Amino acid sequence: MNDFDEQYEDEPQQALDPNIRKQLREAEKTRKELDSLRAELNAEKREVQFTKAGIPDSGIGELFRKAYDGEANAEAIRSAAEQYGILQSPAPTTSSGDSELEALRRAQGATIGTSGALPDPGQEFLSKVKSASSADEVLELVRQTANSNPELGIWTSRASF
């Protein structure tokens, strides 16, 4: 035995104060709750990163979510998903110039017997509807188009305004 044990060998063991034991039990319970909440928060953060990366939450995306164990940021997740074929890598966009569009319109015009320099009446109508700022403007466009372009198949049951 060492000196420490010999010094306190004769003294009776003192039990902890009941209040201290209660506080220790509460602290242990709080620590377990905190650990549980921390794990839940980390799982939610991981799910948010998968969603940001565009990984579907069903089918093969669900399997990827369960199996992935790399970095938990959207870029790394997206890169791994593209590597495994879950996401398609973005195709390079080719911008068609105005001259290309004009050439296509001329070619289309040659096949349907018009000059092709103007956009298709249906496309023109849809662009006007998209730019309308109110329902009244849309109704007016429908009325005008129904009267002036019957070949588009747009009609209204309302009489002329």
Q: What is each CA distance from 6 to 9, 13, 14, in whole angstroms?
A: 5, 14, 17
Distance in angstroms (rounded) separating the CA atoms of residues 65 and 47: 8
Could you please report the per-residue DSSP string of 15-39?
PPPHHHHHHHHHHHHHHHHHHHHHH
Inform me whether the pLDDT recorded for 38 exceeds 90. Answer: yes
What's the pLDDT score for residue 31? 96
pLDDT in tens, 102-127: 777 777 766 665 554 566 777 787 78
What's the pLDDT score for residue 161? 47
Q: What is each CA distance from 28 to 16, 31, 36, 54, in whole angstroms?
A: 16, 5, 12, 40
Please give the model's pTM, rounded to 2 decimal places. Answer: 0.42
Distance in angstroms (rounded) separating the CA atoms of residues 101 and 117: 10
Spatial neighbors of 160 by CB under 8 A, at least 6 apart, are: 143, 147
- Mean pLDDT across the chain: 79
- In eight-state DSSP terms, residue 55 is -
Inform me whether the pLDDT recorded for 39 exceeds 70. Answer: yes
Inform me whether the pLDDT recorded for 4 exceeds 60. Answer: no
Spatial neighbors of 72 by CB under 8 A, at least 6 apart, are: 45, 46, 49
Answer yes or no: are the C-beta atoms of 43 and 66 closer than 8 Å: no
Average pLDDT over residues 140-144: 83
